[in-house]
Amino acid sequence: GKGGYAFIVMERLAGEPWITIRENGTAAEQVHAVEQMARAVRAIHTVDVSTLSHYRSDRQEWVAKMRARAELAPMYLAEDLPEQLAREIKPFLDANLEAITDDYEPLLISTDVNSFNSLFIRHNDNVTLSGQIDFGDMEVGPLEYEWPSVVQKALRHNESLAAAFFAAYGPILPFSGEQLRRLKVYSLLHRFPTVQSFAERNPEVASLERLLDMQWDCVTDRSNDQSPAR
């Protein structure tokens, strides 16, 4: 682009945001919508990252970025958390940050699949995805970094919607114990963390680890013990 800057060309898309279907649609409409959302997210992940000159894909650099973010997280997350939960952030990250490694396949990820960034058109009782919007926070990183926004913002921890989403996305569930460990870390270190709003909605929860567990209960296999790390 002009002056060496990259530009994103956008067009106005018809449709209403996913939140209106999630809150007012029938169960069948909701499932059909998240299935389409999953396929759109999957399409983003299949982009050849070697062609993306403006995105950094160094895996060791990713780990370093997460470690740097972990140094600051106890301060910026504490601003909107109860004192007891805020005190537990640093010990939790100290014990679990090692789960974030450079052993992953770099993928293009939206990072911001939320309640508003998937648009749908309703016609004759059909719900059709018109498009995904707001790619301004895209990154190249591990697939697991995509899921905090999807599960916690778009799907709002709904087990049936999460099951429909991941069934349409492809064979990814159940998450292993080590994957869940990373997902809990990413819940704190994500560009758009949700732990504060989740704590506000669940004031009876006095443990940070329990709060993080609750955020991923909807995709946790309870039938048997978690499988070992892969």
Which residues are 17's β-sheet partners? 119
Check: CB of residue 63 under 8 Å from CB of residue 193.
no
Provide the whole-model pTM: 0.87
**Per-residue tokens: 133:** 């919007």
CATH code for the domain in which residue 110 is found: 3.90.1200.10
Domain count within the chain: 1
| Strand residues in the chain grouped as ranges (E) | 16-17, 107-109, 118-123, 126-132, 139-141
Confidence of residue 133 (pLDDT cuts 50, 70, 90): confident
Higher-pLDDT residue of 152, 53? 152
In a domain, 3, yes or no: no
In a domain, 128, yes or no: yes
Share of the chain above pLDDT 70, in %: 90
In a domain, 204, yes or no: yes
In a domain, 9, yes or no: no
Higher-pLDDT residue of 30, 51? 30
Residue 146 pLDDT exceeds 80 = yes
Q: What is the pLDDT at residue 12?
A: 65
Domain that holds residue 111: 15-219
In a domain, 226, yes or no: no
Tell me the per-residue pLDDT of 47-106, one tens digit each, with 9 for 90 and over. 999 888 778 889 999 999 999 999 999 999 998 899 999 999 999 999 999 999 999 999
In a domain, 51, yes or no: yes
In a domain, 8, yes or no: no
In a domain, 228, yes or no: no
Q: What is the dihedral of CA 219, 221, 225, 230, to 10 degrees?
A: -60
Residue 116 pLDDT exceeds 70 = yes
Q: What is the pLDDT at residue 223?
A: 59
Tell me the per-residue pLDDT of 190-224, one tens digit each, with 9 for 90 and over. 999 888 888 998 999 999 999 999 999 999 876 55
Task: Measure the CA–CA gap between 119 and 18, rounded to whole angstroms.
Answer: 6
Residue 131 pLDDT exceeds 60 = yes
Task: Measure the CA–CA gap between 91 and 153, rounded to whole angstroms.
Answer: 26
